[in-house]
């Protein structure tokens, strides 16, 4: 998208400011997209997330990012965020979390799709915990959402 998640957060929390950090073409589209009413409280920035992210945030929120990449790339990205976060800040990863049972779950099919196409994967809570630990974060909690995804919250370790 072009900042819909951040626009939703800013719309519901008028005291917050945010930064949309994405590829240049996404940032260009965001100027006239869902963030337009919030541009006075929002910074638009582009770059390579594997090189750096805008420093000094209280939270880094990623939706459908971690599942695109194999573990080594995820650990690198999470380390980049860990280096940039303010003391006492947090990491919010919004993705599917595979449950350990054998019950049907759309996340299990998405896991196969992610493996075949971009080379990523959906992860279990333990796999998220291991990624976070390797990158200097501590998994604090997993909050399921009605949309079938979860917010996986990390705190600096």
- Say how many C-beta atoms besides its own lie within 10 A of residue 34's C-beta: 18
67 belongs to the catalytic site: yes
Q: Can you name the residues that pair with 103 across neighbouring β-strands?
A: none
The DSSP secondary-structure symbol of 138 reads: E
Residue 103's φ and ψ, nearest 5 degrees, are: -70, 155
What would the 3-class secondary structure string for 29-86 be?
A: HHCCCCCHHHHHHEEEEECCCCCCCCCCCCEEEEECCHHHCCHHHHHHHHHHHHHHCC
CA 156 to chain centre: 15
Given the residues 25, 64, 67, 76, the one annotated as active site = 67
Site of tokens 């919030």: 38
Residues labelled as active-site residues = 67
């Amino acid at each position: 998208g072009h900042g819909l998640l951040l626009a939703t957060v800013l719309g519901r929390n008028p005291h917050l400011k945010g930064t949309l950090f994405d590829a240049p073409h996404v940032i260009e589209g965001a100027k006239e997209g869902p963030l337009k009413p919030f541009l006075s409280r929002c910074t638009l920035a582009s770059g390579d997330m594997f090189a750096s992210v805008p420093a000094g945030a209280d939270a880094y929120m990623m939706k459908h990012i971690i599942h695109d990449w194999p573990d080594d790339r995820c650990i690198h990205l999470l380390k980049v965020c860990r280096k940039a976060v303010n003391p006492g800040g947090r990491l919010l990863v919004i993705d599917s979390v595979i449950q350990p049972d054998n019950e049907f779950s759309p996340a299990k099919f998405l896991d196969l799709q992610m493996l075949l196409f971009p080379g990523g994967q959906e992860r279990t809570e333990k796999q998220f915990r291991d990624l976070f630990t390797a990158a200097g974060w501590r998994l604090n909690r997993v909050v399921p959402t009605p949309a079938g995804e979860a917010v996986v919250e990390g705190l600096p370790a």
